[in-house]
Amino acid sequence: MVQSSSDSCAVRCVHPDAVEAARVALADRAERLDGARALFAALGDPTRLRLLAALQVGPLCTCDLAATLGVTESAVSHQLRGLRALRLVASDRDGKVVYHRLDDDHVAALLSVAAEHVAEVAVEDETRPADTTLAPAA
């Protein structure tokens, strides 16, 4: 089957200067955007997110984190390695016990802002009229 020109999608560029500025900004921030992607990927895992949320309360040792999350110490250690690599978690040794904490205030702020956004969206969803455009006809 041969596609006619009317079947193809035409890409428009209404504001070429703005598009070029955005492209330059993306190129300039490529490394930071890749780091942000890795950060959000880490936060996208339920176990890692729960681990960080538990550490918002305060430092916990590996075994206490495992008990809090209901997973093995091995699983906690595995997740902590990745979180330390992203500088989301820091660890301090006290004799034989290793305590873990959020790396800095930015991590706590990131988690708090995410929670605030989710709560805000939930409230907006409760007060927004239902969208019936896709609802089946009665």
Residue-by-residue DSSP string for 54-121? HHHH--EEHHHHHHHHTS-HHHHHHHHHHHHHTTSEEEEEETTEEEEEESSHHHHHHHHHHHHHHHHH
Kind plus residue range of the DSSP H or E element containing 32 = helix 30-43
Question: At 128, is the pLDDT very low, low, confident or very high (cuts 50, 70, 90)?
Answer: low
pTM, two decimals, is 0.75
User: Residue 132 and residue 70: Cα distance in Å, rounded?
Assistant: 41
pLDDT the model gives residue 126: 74
pLDDT tens digits for 11-63?
A: 888 999 999 999 999 999 999 999 999 999 999 999 999 999 999 999 999 99
> Which whole number is the average pLDDT over 124-133?
62
* pLDDT at site 11: 80
Q: Binning pLDDT at 50, 70 and 90, where does residue 121 land?
A: confident
Contact 78, 28 (CB under 8 A): no
Phi-psi region of 87 (alpha: psi -120 to 50; beta: other; left: phi over 0): left
Burial class of 79 by CB neighbour count within 10 A (0 to 12, 13 to 18, 19+):
buried
Does the pLDDT value for residue 136 go beyond 60? no
CATH number of 33-120: 1.10.10.10
Q: Count of residues for the chain?
A: 138
Average pLDDT value for the chain: 88
